[in-house]
Protein backbone atom coordinates (compact mmCIF):
# COMPACT_ATOMS: atom_id res chain seq x y z
CA UNK A 1 0.00 0.00 0.00
CA UNK A 2 1.32 3.46 -0.90
CA UNK A 3 1.25 5.75 2.12
CA UNK A 4 0.65 9.49 2.07
CA UNK A 5 3.53 11.91 1.91
CA UNK A 6 3.00 13.69 5.22
CA UNK A 7 3.13 17.47 5.42
CA UNK A 8 5.22 17.36 8.61
CA UNK A 9 6.88 14.56 10.59
CA UNK A 10 8.96 15.43 13.67
CA UNK A 11 11.87 12.99 13.90
CA UNK A 12 14.33 11.77 16.49
CA UNK A 13 17.65 13.04 15.15
CA UNK A 14 20.10 12.61 18.03
CA UNK A 15 20.12 11.85 21.77
CA UNK A 16 16.54 13.03 22.48
CA UNK A 17 15.38 9.82 24.20
CA UNK A 18 18.49 9.50 26.37
CA UNK A 19 18.30 13.13 27.45
CA UNK A 20 14.60 12.99 28.28
CA UNK A 21 15.20 9.91 30.40
CA UNK A 22 18.09 11.67 32.12
CA UNK A 23 15.91 14.73 32.83
CA UNK A 24 13.24 12.53 34.43
CA UNK A 25 15.64 10.33 36.40
CA UNK A 26 17.64 13.36 37.53
CA UNK A 27 14.69 14.33 39.72
CA UNK A 28 14.30 17.92 38.48
CA UNK A 29 12.14 17.83 35.35
CA UNK A 30 10.65 21.30 36.05
CA UNK A 31 11.86 24.60 34.57
CA UNK A 32 15.20 26.16 35.46
CA UNK A 33 17.14 22.93 34.93
CA UNK A 34 20.47 22.03 33.42
CA UNK A 35 19.15 21.07 29.96
CA UNK A 36 17.34 24.40 29.68
CA UNK A 37 20.51 26.22 30.71
CA UNK A 38 22.49 24.43 28.01
CA UNK A 39 19.82 25.02 25.32
CA UNK A 40 19.65 28.71 26.27
CA UNK A 41 23.43 28.93 25.99
CA UNK A 42 23.35 27.62 22.40
CA UNK A 43 20.60 30.05 21.40
CA UNK A 44 22.11 33.11 23.07
CA UNK A 45 25.53 32.34 21.57
CA UNK A 46 24.11 32.03 18.04
CA UNK A 47 22.40 35.43 18.14
CA UNK A 48 24.95 37.08 20.44
CA UNK A 49 22.10 37.81 22.87
CA UNK A 50 22.54 39.07 26.42
CA UNK A 51 20.23 36.28 27.62
CA UNK A 52 17.92 33.56 26.30
CA UNK A 53 14.92 32.62 28.43
CA UNK A 54 13.45 29.21 27.58
CA UNK A 55 9.65 29.49 27.45
CA UNK A 56 6.67 27.19 27.06
CA UNK A 57 6.06 28.48 23.50
CA UNK A 58 6.83 31.28 21.07
CA UNK A 59 3.43 32.71 21.99
CA UNK A 60 4.57 32.89 25.63
CA UNK A 61 7.85 34.56 24.60
CA UNK A 62 5.88 37.16 22.64
CA UNK A 63 3.65 37.71 25.69
CA UNK A 64 6.70 38.22 27.89
CA UNK A 65 8.13 40.75 25.41
CA UNK A 66 4.76 42.54 25.39
CA UNK A 67 4.80 42.70 29.22
CA UNK A 68 8.31 44.16 29.16
CA UNK A 69 7.08 47.02 26.95
CA UNK A 70 4.85 48.32 29.79
CA UNK A 71 2.20 49.35 27.32
CA UNK A 72 -0.04 52.27 28.35
CA UNK A 73 -3.61 53.09 27.24
CA UNK A 74 -3.49 54.56 23.73
CA UNK A 75 -0.27 52.76 22.75
CA UNK A 76 -0.24 50.87 19.47
CA UNK A 77 1.88 48.04 18.09
CA UNK A 78 2.39 47.45 14.37
CA UNK A 79 2.21 43.81 13.26
CA UNK A 80 2.09 42.15 9.83
CA UNK A 81 -1.35 41.08 8.68
CA UNK A 82 0.15 37.95 7.12
CA UNK A 83 1.27 35.98 10.19
CA UNK A 84 0.14 33.59 12.89
CA UNK A 85 -2.32 35.01 15.44
CA UNK A 86 0.23 34.99 18.29
CA UNK A 87 2.34 37.73 16.65
CA UNK A 88 -0.60 40.09 17.19
CA UNK A 89 -2.50 38.48 20.07
CA UNK A 90 0.39 38.74 22.55
CA UNK A 91 0.36 42.54 22.25
CA UNK A 92 -3.41 42.91 22.09
CA UNK A 93 -3.84 41.09 25.42
CA UNK A 94 -1.39 43.51 27.04
CA UNK A 95 -3.70 46.33 25.95
CA UNK A 96 -2.09 47.55 22.72
CA UNK A 97 -4.21 48.75 19.84
CA UNK A 98 -3.06 46.83 16.78
CA UNK A 99 -2.09 48.45 13.49
CA UNK A 100 -1.79 45.93 10.69
CA UNK A 101 0.92 46.38 8.09
CA UNK A 102 0.86 44.89 4.60
CA UNK A 103 3.65 42.63 3.29
CA UNK A 104 5.86 43.00 0.25
CA UNK A 105 5.60 40.27 -2.39
CA UNK A 106 9.30 39.32 -2.54
CA UNK A 107 9.83 37.91 0.98
CA UNK A 108 6.26 38.15 2.34
CA UNK A 109 7.65 40.22 5.24
CA UNK A 110 6.46 43.68 6.32
CA UNK A 111 6.46 46.23 3.48
CA UNK A 112 8.63 49.21 4.58
CA UNK A 113 6.75 51.58 2.25
CA UNK A 114 3.46 50.72 3.96
CA UNK A 115 5.11 50.75 7.38
CA UNK A 116 6.29 54.35 6.82
CA UNK A 117 2.67 55.47 6.32
CA UNK A 118 1.57 53.81 9.60
CA UNK A 119 4.13 55.33 11.97
CA UNK A 120 2.96 57.96 14.46
CA UNK A 121 3.59 59.00 18.07
CA UNK A 122 1.31 56.24 19.46
CA UNK A 123 3.45 53.41 18.08
CA UNK A 124 5.49 51.65 20.80
CA UNK A 125 6.72 48.64 18.86
CA UNK A 126 6.96 47.10 15.40
CA UNK A 127 6.90 43.30 15.19
CA UNK A 128 8.55 41.68 12.17
CA UNK A 129 8.37 38.08 10.96
CA UNK A 130 10.99 36.42 8.75
CA UNK A 131 8.45 34.41 6.82
CA UNK A 132 9.52 30.88 5.89
CA UNK A 133 12.89 31.63 7.51
CA UNK A 134 13.90 34.24 4.91
CA UNK A 135 14.84 37.64 6.36
CA UNK A 136 12.35 40.40 5.60
CA UNK A 137 13.46 43.76 4.14
CA UNK A 138 15.57 44.64 7.16
CA UNK A 139 17.30 47.62 5.48
CA UNK A 140 13.95 49.13 4.51
CA UNK A 141 12.49 48.64 8.00
CA UNK A 142 15.59 50.11 9.67
CA UNK A 143 15.38 53.13 7.39
CA UNK A 144 11.78 53.77 8.52
CA UNK A 145 12.59 53.22 12.22
CA UNK A 146 15.62 55.54 12.05
CA UNK A 147 13.14 58.42 12.36
CA UNK A 148 11.49 56.81 15.42
CA UNK A 149 14.34 55.88 17.79
CA UNK A 150 12.01 55.16 20.75
CA UNK A 151 10.06 52.51 18.89
CA UNK A 152 11.04 48.94 19.87
CA UNK A 153 11.74 46.38 17.17
CA UNK A 154 10.50 42.90 18.08
CA UNK A 155 11.46 39.92 15.92
CA UNK A 156 8.98 37.08 15.84
CA UNK A 157 11.62 34.64 14.67
CA UNK A 158 9.42 31.54 14.89
CA UNK A 159 10.55 30.51 11.37
CA UNK A 160 14.08 31.86 11.20
CA UNK A 161 16.37 30.22 13.76
CA UNK A 162 19.89 29.89 12.24
CA UNK A 163 19.01 32.05 9.24
CA UNK A 164 20.78 35.35 8.59
CA UNK A 165 20.40 38.76 7.00
CA UNK A 166 23.82 39.28 5.40
CA UNK A 167 26.15 38.47 8.32
CA UNK A 168 23.58 39.22 11.05
CA UNK A 169 21.85 36.18 12.58
CA UNK A 170 18.05 36.33 12.59
CA UNK A 171 17.06 36.83 16.22
CA UNK A 172 19.83 39.38 16.77
CA UNK A 173 18.10 42.29 15.06
CA UNK A 174 15.37 43.28 17.52
CA UNK A 175 15.49 44.36 21.16
CA UNK A 176 13.45 41.19 21.69
CA UNK A 177 13.36 38.10 19.48
CA UNK A 178 11.16 35.05 19.96
CA UNK A 179 11.64 31.43 18.86
CA UNK A 180 9.32 28.45 18.50
CA UNK A 181 10.02 24.77 19.09
CA UNK A 182 6.49 23.60 18.29
CA UNK A 183 6.32 20.24 16.52
CA UNK A 184 5.97 22.01 13.16
CA UNK A 185 9.30 23.87 13.41
CA UNK A 186 12.86 22.93 12.38
CA UNK A 187 13.87 22.20 15.99
CA UNK A 188 11.15 20.71 18.13
CA UNK A 189 10.29 19.64 21.66
CA UNK A 190 6.51 19.27 21.29
CA UNK A 191 5.71 22.77 22.54
CA UNK A 192 8.43 25.24 23.46
CA UNK A 193 9.97 28.60 22.74
CA UNK A 194 12.53 31.15 23.80
CA UNK A 195 12.83 34.88 24.31
CA UNK A 196 16.15 36.38 23.25
CA UNK A 197 17.07 39.59 25.05
CA UNK A 198 19.40 41.65 22.90
CA UNK A 199 19.58 44.63 25.28
CA UNK A 200 21.41 43.79 28.55
CA UNK A 201 19.26 46.40 30.35
CA UNK A 202 16.21 44.13 29.95
CA UNK A 203 17.77 41.08 31.60
CA UNK A 204 17.08 41.69 35.31
CA UNK A 205 13.43 42.63 34.91
CA UNK A 206 12.79 39.92 32.31
CA UNK A 207 14.07 37.29 34.73
CA UNK A 208 11.53 38.45 37.33
CA UNK A 209 8.54 38.53 34.94
CA UNK A 210 9.61 35.12 33.62
CA UNK A 211 9.52 33.56 37.09
CA UNK A 212 6.03 34.45 38.39
CA UNK A 213 7.04 38.00 39.28
CA UNK A 214 9.70 36.85 41.76
CA UNK A 215 13.45 37.38 42.02
CA UNK A 216 13.94 33.62 42.30
CA UNK A 217 16.65 33.64 39.62
CA UNK A 218 18.68 36.20 41.59
CA UNK A 219 18.25 33.92 44.64
CA UNK A 220 19.42 30.86 42.66
CA UNK A 221 22.45 32.83 41.51
CA UNK A 222 23.23 33.74 45.14
CA UNK A 223 22.59 37.45 44.54
CA UNK A 224 19.90 37.72 47.29
CA UNK A 225 19.33 35.58 50.42
CA UNK A 226 15.60 35.00 49.88
CA UNK A 227 13.20 35.51 47.03
CA UNK A 228 9.96 37.50 47.08
CA UNK A 229 7.21 38.84 44.87
CA UNK A 230 8.55 41.88 42.98
CA UNK A 231 6.53 42.61 39.84
CA UNK A 232 3.96 41.33 37.35
CA UNK A 233 4.77 38.13 35.46
CA UNK A 234 3.66 34.59 34.81
CA UNK A 235 4.94 31.02 34.69
CA UNK A 236 6.88 31.10 31.42
CA UNK A 237 9.58 28.48 32.07
CA UNK A 238 10.11 25.45 29.83
CA UNK A 239 10.09 22.14 31.73
CA UNK A 240 13.55 20.57 31.71
CA UNK A 241 12.15 17.33 30.34
CA UNK A 242 11.21 19.28 27.18
CA UNK A 243 14.45 21.26 27.19
CA UNK A 244 16.25 17.89 27.16
CA UNK A 245 14.38 16.92 23.97
CA UNK A 246 15.23 20.31 22.44
CA UNK A 247 18.91 20.30 23.40
CA UNK A 248 19.41 16.97 21.64
CA UNK A 249 17.96 18.52 18.48
CA UNK A 250 20.11 21.65 18.77
CA UNK A 251 23.23 19.48 19.14
CA UNK A 252 22.67 18.13 15.63
CA UNK A 253 21.65 21.47 14.16
CA UNK A 254 23.98 21.13 11.15
CA UNK A 255 22.52 17.75 10.22
CA UNK A 256 18.94 18.98 10.56
CA UNK A 257 19.58 22.17 8.58
CA UNK A 258 21.42 20.25 5.84
CA UNK A 259 18.49 17.85 5.49
CA UNK A 260 16.06 20.76 5.20
CA UNK A 261 18.27 22.60 2.70
CA UNK A 262 18.20 19.47 0.55
CA UNK A 263 14.37 19.53 0.52
CA UNK A 264 14.30 23.23 -0.34
CA UNK A 265 16.89 22.88 -3.10
CA UNK A 266 15.15 19.83 -4.56
CA UNK A 267 11.82 21.64 -4.89
CA UNK A 268 13.46 24.81 -6.24
CA UNK A 269 15.40 22.90 -8.93
CA UNK A 270 12.55 20.59 -9.93
CA UNK A 271 9.92 23.33 -10.20
CA UNK A 272 11.99 26.08 -11.84
CA UNK A 273 11.68 24.74 -15.41
CA UNK A 274 7.86 24.68 -15.12
CA UNK A 275 7.17 27.88 -13.19
CA UNK A 276 6.73 30.24 -16.12
CA UNK A 277 4.53 27.94 -18.16
CA UNK A 278 2.25 27.35 -15.14
CA UNK A 279 2.35 30.99 -14.02
CA UNK A 280 3.53 29.81 -10.61
CA UNK A 281 5.72 32.10 -8.52
CA UNK A 282 8.32 30.10 -6.60
CA UNK A 283 9.56 30.98 -3.14
CA UNK A 284 12.32 33.57 -3.48
CA UNK A 285 15.51 33.83 -1.41
CA UNK A 286 17.34 37.13 -2.07
CA UNK A 287 21.11 36.75 -2.60
CA UNK A 288 22.09 38.44 0.66
CA UNK A 289 19.99 36.17 2.92
CA UNK A 290 20.86 32.82 4.49
CA UNK A 291 17.51 31.04 4.67
CA UNK A 292 16.60 28.94 7.72
CA UNK A 293 14.79 26.40 5.49
CA UNK A 294 11.62 26.34 7.51
CA UNK A 295 9.25 25.69 4.61
CA UNK A 296 8.78 25.73 0.85
CA UNK A 297 5.87 27.63 -0.68
CA UNK A 298 4.64 28.62 -4.12
CA UNK A 299 2.12 31.25 -5.20
CA UNK A 300 -0.40 29.97 -7.71
CA UNK A 301 -1.61 32.27 -10.49
CA UNK A 302 -5.35 31.94 -9.82
CA UNK A 303 -6.74 32.42 -6.35
CA UNK A 304 -9.92 30.48 -7.10
CA UNK A 305 -7.88 27.41 -8.14
CA UNK A 306 -5.58 27.01 -5.13
CA UNK A 307 -8.01 24.84 -3.20
CA UNK A 308 -8.61 22.68 -6.27
CA UNK A 309 -4.85 22.07 -6.51
CA UNK A 310 -4.73 21.16 -2.81
CA UNK A 311 -7.66 18.79 -3.19
CA UNK A 312 -6.13 17.01 -6.20
CA UNK A 313 -2.86 16.62 -4.31
CA UNK A 314 -4.63 15.26 -1.24
CA UNK A 315 -6.50 12.72 -3.36
CA UNK A 316 -3.11 11.62 -4.77
CA UNK A 317 -1.80 11.14 -1.22
CA UNK A 318 0.33 14.28 -0.92
CA UNK A 319 -0.39 16.50 2.06
CA UNK A 320 0.12 20.08 0.88
CA UNK A 321 -1.49 22.94 2.77
CA UNK A 322 -2.05 26.72 2.98
CA UNK A 323 -2.13 29.58 5.52
CA UNK A 324 -2.47 32.39 6.91
CA UNK A 325 -5.88 34.04 6.92
CA UNK A 326 -4.97 37.76 6.94
CA UNK A 327 -5.32 39.05 10.48
CA UNK A 328 -6.54 42.55 9.54
CA UNK A 329 -9.70 41.04 8.07
CA UNK A 330 -10.33 38.55 10.90
CA UNK A 331 -12.99 39.05 13.57
CA UNK A 332 -10.51 39.50 16.42
CA UNK A 333 -8.11 41.50 14.25
CA UNK A 334 -10.86 44.02 13.60
CA UNK A 335 -11.82 44.09 17.28
CA UNK A 336 -8.23 44.74 18.46
CA UNK A 337 -7.32 47.15 15.64
CA UNK A 338 -6.58 50.75 16.57
CA UNK A 339 -7.76 51.73 13.10
CA UNK A 340 -8.87 50.18 9.86
CA UNK A 341 -6.08 49.46 7.35
CA UNK A 342 -6.16 47.74 3.95
CA UNK A 343 -3.55 45.02 3.32
CA UNK A 344 -4.17 43.95 -0.29
CA UNK A 345 -0.94 41.99 -0.75
CA UNK A 346 -1.56 39.93 2.41
CA UNK A 347 -5.09 39.23 1.17
CA UNK A 348 -3.91 38.20 -2.29
CA UNK A 349 -1.01 36.03 -1.05
CA UNK A 350 -3.15 34.22 1.49
CA UNK A 351 -5.48 33.08 -1.30
CA UNK A 352 -2.72 31.93 -3.68
CA UNK A 353 -0.13 30.41 -1.34
CA UNK A 354 0.46 26.66 -1.22
CA UNK A 355 2.99 24.91 1.06
CA UNK A 356 4.56 21.64 -0.03
CA UNK A 357 5.35 18.82 2.43
CA UNK A 358 8.49 19.79 4.33
CA UNK A 359 10.32 17.76 6.93
CA UNK A 360 13.78 16.42 7.63
CA UNK A 361 13.43 12.92 6.27
CA UNK A 362 11.55 13.16 2.99
CA UNK A 363 13.06 10.52 0.68
CA UNK A 364 14.04 11.03 -2.97
CA UNK A 365 10.93 9.06 -3.91
CA UNK A 366 8.74 11.28 -1.69
CA UNK A 367 10.17 14.44 -3.24
CA UNK A 368 9.73 13.12 -6.79
CA UNK A 369 6.15 12.21 -5.95
CA UNK A 370 5.38 15.64 -4.45
CA UNK A 371 6.80 17.44 -7.50
CA UNK A 372 5.01 15.20 -10.02
CA UNK A 373 1.72 15.47 -8.12
CA UNK A 374 1.97 19.24 -7.82
CA UNK A 375 2.80 19.72 -11.51
CA UNK A 376 -0.08 17.47 -12.55
CA UNK A 377 -2.54 19.31 -10.26
CA UNK A 378 -1.30 22.76 -11.29
CA UNK A 379 -1.58 21.84 -14.98
CA UNK A 380 -5.06 20.36 -14.82
CA UNK A 381 -6.40 23.35 -12.90
CA UNK A 382 -5.15 25.95 -15.42
CA UNK A 383 -8.24 27.91 -16.51
CA UNK A 384 -8.12 26.85 -20.17
CA UNK A 385 -8.02 23.12 -19.42
C1 LIG B 1 5.16 33.46 12.86
C2 LIG B 1 4.73 32.67 14.07
N3 LIG B 1 4.75 33.26 15.27
C4 LIG B 1 4.38 32.61 16.39
C5 LIG B 1 3.95 31.30 16.34
C6 LIG B 1 3.53 30.62 17.60
O7 LIG B 1 4.46 29.65 18.00
P8 LIG B 1 4.13 28.68 19.23
O9 LIG B 1 3.26 27.60 18.69
O10 LIG B 1 5.48 28.16 19.64
O11 LIG B 1 3.48 29.49 20.28
C12 LIG B 1 3.93 30.63 15.10
C13 LIG B 1 3.47 29.23 15.06
O14 LIG B 1 3.38 28.59 14.07
C15 LIG B 1 4.32 31.33 13.94
O16 LIG B 1 4.28 30.75 12.73
Residue nearest to ligand 1 atom 9, measured at CA: 182
DSSP 77: E
Q: Which atom of ligand 1 is nearest to the CA of 61?
A: 11
Q: Are strands 193-197 and 51-55 parallel, antiparallel or unpaired?
A: antiparallel
Mutate which of 79, 171, 177, 180 for ligand 1 pocket (most atoms within 8 A of beta carbon): 180
Show the ligand 1 pocket: residues with CB < 6 angstroms: 57-59, 83-84, 86-87, 129, 156, 158-159, 180, 182, 193
pLDDT for 384 equals: 67
* Cα-to-centroid distance, 147 and ligand 1 (Å): 30
pLDDT for 302 equals: 87
Reported confidence tier of residue 382, pLDDT bands at 50, 70, 90: confident
* Cα-to-centroid distance, 180 and ligand 1 (Å): 6
Query: Domain segments of the chain: what residues?
Result: 16-252, 254-380
> Which pLDDT tens digit goes with each residue over 274-294?
999 999 999 999 999 999 999
CA distance 58 to 10: 18
Residue nearest to ligand 1 atom 8, measured at CA: 58
* Cα-to-centroid distance, 47 and ligand 1 (Å): 19
CA distance 43 to 132: 19
Mutate which of 134, 158, 246 for ligand 1 pocket (most atoms within 8 A of beta carbon): 158
Report the SS3 class of residue 299.
strand
* Cα-to-centroid distance, 87 and ligand 1 (Å): 7
> Which pLDDT tens digit goes with each residue over 296-350?
999 999 888 999 999 999 999 999 999 999 999 999 999 999 999 999 999 999 9
Residue 158 and residue 58 in contact, taking contact as beta carbons nearer than 8 Å:
yes
Closest Cα partner for 196 from 359, 62, 344?
62
Q: Which carries the bigger pLDDT value, residue 304 or residue 140? A: 140
| Helix or strand run (H / E) with residue 15 | none
The CATH number of domain 254-380, selected from 3.40.50.300, 3.30.70.260, 3.90.1150.10, 3.30.1330.60: 3.90.1150.10
Q: Which atom of ligand 1 is nearest to the CA of 192?
A: 10
* Cα-to-centroid distance, 292 and ligand 1 (Å): 15
CA distance 293 to 283: 11
CA distance 334 to 342: 11
CA angle in degrees (0–180, nearest 5) for 38-41-47: 150
CA distance 322 to 201: 40
* Cα-to-centroid distance, 15 and ligand 1 (Å): 25
Q: List Cα–Cα distances, 235 to 57, 64, 135, 150, in angstroms.
A: 12, 10, 31, 29
Closest Cα partner for 193 from 158, 162, 217?
158
CATH T-level assignment (fold) for domain 16-252? 3.40.640
Instruction: Phi first, then psi: give them for residue 27, nearest 5 degrees.
Output: 85, 0
Residues in Cβ contact with 217 at an 8 Å cutoff, skipping those fewer than 6 apart = 32, 207, 208, 210, 211
CA distance 279 to 105: 15
> Which pLDDT tens digit goes with each residue over 67-78?
999 999 999 999
42 class by beta-carbon count within 10 Å (0-12 exposed, 13-18 middle, 19+ buried): middle
Report the SS3 class of residue 97.
strand
* Cα-to-centroid distance, 179 and ligand 1 (Å): 8
Whether residue 385 has pLDDT greater than 80: no
Mutate which of 10, 53, 56, 58 for ligand 1 pocket (most atoms within 8 A of beta carbon): 58
Mutate which of 60, 84, 128 for ligand 1 pocket (most atoms within 8 A of beta carbon): 84
Q: Which residues of 285-313 are buried (b: 16+ CB within 10 A; e: fewer)?
A: beeebbbbbbbbbbbbeeeebbeebbebb
CA distance 138 to 193: 23
Amino acid sequence: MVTDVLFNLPAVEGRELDYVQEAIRGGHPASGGEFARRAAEVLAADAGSAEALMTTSCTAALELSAMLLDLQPGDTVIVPSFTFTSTALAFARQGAGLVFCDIEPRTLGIDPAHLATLMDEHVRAVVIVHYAGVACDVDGIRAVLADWPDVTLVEDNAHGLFGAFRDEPLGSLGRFATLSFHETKNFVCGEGGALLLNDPDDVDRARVLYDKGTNRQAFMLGQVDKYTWQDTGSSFGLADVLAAYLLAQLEVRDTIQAKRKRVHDWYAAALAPHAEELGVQLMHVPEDRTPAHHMYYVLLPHRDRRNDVLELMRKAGVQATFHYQPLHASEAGRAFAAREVECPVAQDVSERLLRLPFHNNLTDADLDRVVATFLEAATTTLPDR
